[in-house]
Amino acid sequence: MAECRARLSDDLEVSELIAEHRALLRQSLDSLFEGTDRTNKDSRARVLVDAHCEHAYTLEALASHLGIHYSTVSRAIKAAED
């Protein structure tokens, strides 16, 4: 999660946007996961980090999209950042 905070703090314009406005500008989850093997944990984790940190998707939204529990998403993001 520290990596997420660092990415957002580097871009003040994005971090100052309220969540609703940022949501309008972000890519869809379908487009973010396009071409990714969702069964491969490493490739899936890289997209999860990007979707969560860069595009501000919630853990719940990511989990719902993939059909997994939000704690699984949290663990995948944490493991990818270590």
Please state at what angle helix 41-49 crosses helix 70-81, rounded to 10 degrees. Answer: 90
Asked if 60 and 70 touch (Cβ cutoff 8 Å), the reply is yes
Q: Which two tokens stand for residue 70?
A: 């939000």
Range 74-80 average pLDDT:
95
- How do residues 50-66 score in pLDDT, each as one tens digit? 999 888 899 999 999 99
Q: Is 57 left (phi over 0), alpha (psi -120 to 50) or beta?
A: beta
- How do residues 3-29 score in pLDDT, each as one tens digit? 665 655 555 455 566 666 767 778 899
- How do residues 40-49 score in pLDDT, each as one tens digit? 889 999 999 9
Residue ranges of alpha helices (H) inside 1-82 are 2-10, 12-16, 19-25, 29-33, 41-49, 59-66, 70-81
